[in-house]
């Protein structure tokens, strides 16, 4: 299968020393709908801004459909449509004018029919002649998506496209992106939301602290993330120091009287043995939520690099 986006050993160190991408490598196949999932500050926008152009990488190679973005800047710009995270329209033009101008930038003329089609799919047709300054945040974001599509790119890169978009429109947007992907567009999407990755993307990578910490089929990834049990032990007396032998179960105090343990289901017997002599007054067992596991996973890698 052809590779649509190939990222190899990319480093980015910002002027003030933040090492935002660390030896980052990732290959996205042609026709894929791929999610890059990660917490705030993980490096998602840095990566996208490097692919899009405004940010320069410190080292490494990026290729779009086999062409190096450094040596084939113009060609690769035509191949990609990028929706940046920051929405900033500062023009006196209306929606239609913005899209016509943007087409002109790519040397495309007389594409009103296509522009109308995009506007309709993005539920923006009623705003066709509205000044961009008069759009709501969610509308501006959808206009950014329209802008990224006017030149019919092969690869669409979206930086948190649904942030600030309400639930109903979010689902419309998801459907539209699904359709674009079905029609052959390769899509790379960044998001904070596991749900979004799960609903749209066959494969997902988790980026944290500038590196890929996990990559897999989205369903498998989520299954492996979510396969944890959490046990809460309640005690009549205040908990003192956490017994050392509970460390392997990630023991932590959640209050003066409650202790939480996290472990894989197969470790249940081991845990029961470990807590035998503690005499808790109550025990609760539940499956850890996916969101919790995700936070824990990324928190762990952050801690590792801070220490
Ligand atoms: N222009 C910049 N100058 C200096 N540091 C930056 C700049 N942009 C981002 N950073 C730093 O690089 C790291 C990665 O930031 P980035 O914006 O890529 O993360 P992100 O994954 O997109 O986060 P979010 O989910 O909040 O959008 C952070 O530590 C951030 O402070
Ligand atoms: Mg970002």
CATH code, domain with 264 = 3.30.70
The share of the chain scoring above pLDDT 70, in percent, equals 94
Query: Is the distance from the beta carbon of residue 211 to the nearest atom of ligand 1 less than 6 Å?
Result: no
Q: How many domains does the chain have?
A: 2
Indicate whether residue 85 lines ligand 1 (CB < 6 A).
yes
Instruction: Looking at the CA of 192, name the nearest ligand.
Output: 1
Residue 195's nearest CA partner among 159, 169, 167 is 167
Model's pTM, two decimal places? 0.81
Say how many Å lie between the CA of residue 121 and the centre of ligand 1. Answer: 31
Statement: residue 213 has pLDDT above 80: yes
In a domain, 297, yes or no: no
Q: pLDDT by residue (tens digit) across 262-299?
A: 898 889 999 999 998 999 999 998 876 666 667 767 76
Closest C-alpha residue for ligand 1 atom 3: 14
Give every CB contact of residue 294 below 8 A, 6+ residues apart in sequence: 37, 194, 206, 225
Mutate which of 12, 22, 42 for ligand 1 pocket (most atoms within 8 A of beta carbon): 42
Same domain assignment for residues 161 and 95: yes
Is residue 190 domain-shared with residue 233, that is, in the same domain? no
The confidence score (pLDDT) of residue 307 equals: 36
262 lies in some domain: yes
User: Is residue 94 lining ligand 1, measured as CB closer than 6 Å?
Assistant: no
Structural domain span for residue 283 = 229-287
Residue 41, sorted as left (phi over 0), alpha (psi -120 to 50) or beta, turns out to be left
302 lines ligand 1 (CB under 6 A): no
Do residue 182 and residue 268 come from a single domain? Answer: no
Q: What are the pLDDT digits (tens) for 164-173?
A: 778 888 888 8
CA of 260 to the centre of ligand 1 (A): 33
pLDDT at 291: 67
Q: Give the number of whichever ligand sits closest to the CA of residue 44.
A: 1
And the tokens for 160? 């948190």
Query: Do 206 and 238 sit in the same domain of this protein?
Result: no
Same structural domain for residues 209 and 239? no
Residue 193: give its domain's CATH number. Answer: 3.40.50.300
Pocket test for ligand 1, best of 44, 52, 210 (most atoms within 8 A of CB): 44
At 82, is the pLDDT very low, low, confident or very high (cuts 50, 70, 90)? Answer: very high
Residues 56 and 146 both lie in one domain: yes
Tokens representing residue 146 in the block: 């329209």
Mean pLDDT of the residues in the chain: 90
Q: Are residues 54 and 153 in the same domain?
A: yes
β-pairing, 80-83 with 211-217? Answer: unpaired
45 CA → ligand 1 middle, Å? 6
pLDDT (0 to 100) of residue 289: 67
CA distance 148 to 77: 11
Which ligand ends up closest to the CA of 207? 1
Q: What is the percent of the chain where pLDDT is above 90?
A: 67
C-alpha to C-alpha distance for 266 and 257, rounded to whole angstroms: 26
Residue 153: the pLDDT is 97
**Over the stretch 220-256, which tens digit does the pLDDT of each residue have?**
888 777 677 889 999 999 999 999 999 999 999 999 9
CB within 8 Å of 284: residues ≥ 6 apart: 231, 232, 234
- Three-state secondary structure call for residue 73: helix
- Condensed to tens digits (0 to 9), the pLDDT of residues 2-61 reads 899 999 999 999 999 999 999 999 999 999 999 999 888 899 999 999 999 889 999 999
Q: Is 30 helix (H, G, I), strand (E, B) or coil?
A: coil
Does the pLDDT value for residue 305 go beyond 60? no
Whether the per-residue pLDDT at 260 is higher than 80: the answer is yes
Q: What is the pLDDT of residue 252?
A: 92
* Distance in Å, CA 54 to ligand 1 centroid: 14
């Amino acid at each position: 299968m052809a590779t649509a986006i190939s990222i190899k050993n990319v480093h980015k160190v910002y002027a003030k020393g933040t090492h935002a991408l660390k030896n980052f490598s990732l290959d996205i196949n042609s026709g894929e709908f791929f999610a890059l999932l990660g917490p705030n500050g993980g490096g998602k926008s840095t990566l996208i801004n490097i692919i899009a152009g405004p940010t320069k990488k410190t080292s490494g190679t990026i290729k779009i459909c086999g062409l190096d973005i450094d040596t084939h800047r113009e060609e690769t710009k035509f191949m990609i449509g990028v929706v940046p995270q920051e929405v900033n329209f500062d023009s006196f033009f209306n929606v239609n004018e913005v899209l016509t101008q943007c087409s002109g930038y790519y040397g495309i003329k007389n594409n009103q029919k296509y522009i109308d089609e995009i506007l309709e799919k993005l539920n923006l047709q009623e705003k066709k002649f509205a000044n961009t300054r008069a759009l709501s945040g969610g509308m501006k974001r959808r206009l950014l998506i329209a802008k990224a599509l006017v030149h019919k790119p092969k690869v669409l890169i979206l930086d948190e496209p649904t942030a600030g978009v309400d639930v109903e429109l979010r689902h419309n947007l998801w459907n539209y992106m699904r359709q674009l992907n079905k029609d052959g567009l390769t899509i790379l999407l960044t998001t904070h939301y596991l749900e979004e990755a799960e609903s749209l993307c066959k494969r997902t990578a988790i980026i944290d602290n500038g590196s890929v910490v996990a990559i897999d089929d989205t369903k498998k990834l989520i299954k492996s993330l979510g396969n944890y049990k959490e046990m809460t032990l309640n005690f009549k007396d205040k908990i003192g120091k956490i017994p050392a032998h509970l460390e392997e179960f990630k023991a932590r105090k959640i209050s003066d009287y409650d202790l939480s343990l996290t472990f894989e289901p197969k470790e249940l017997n081991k845990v029961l043995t470990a807590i035998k002599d503690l005499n808790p007054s109550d025990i609760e067992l539940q499956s850890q939520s996916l969101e919790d596991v995700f936070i824990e996973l990324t928190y762990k890698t952050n801690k590792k690099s801070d220490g």
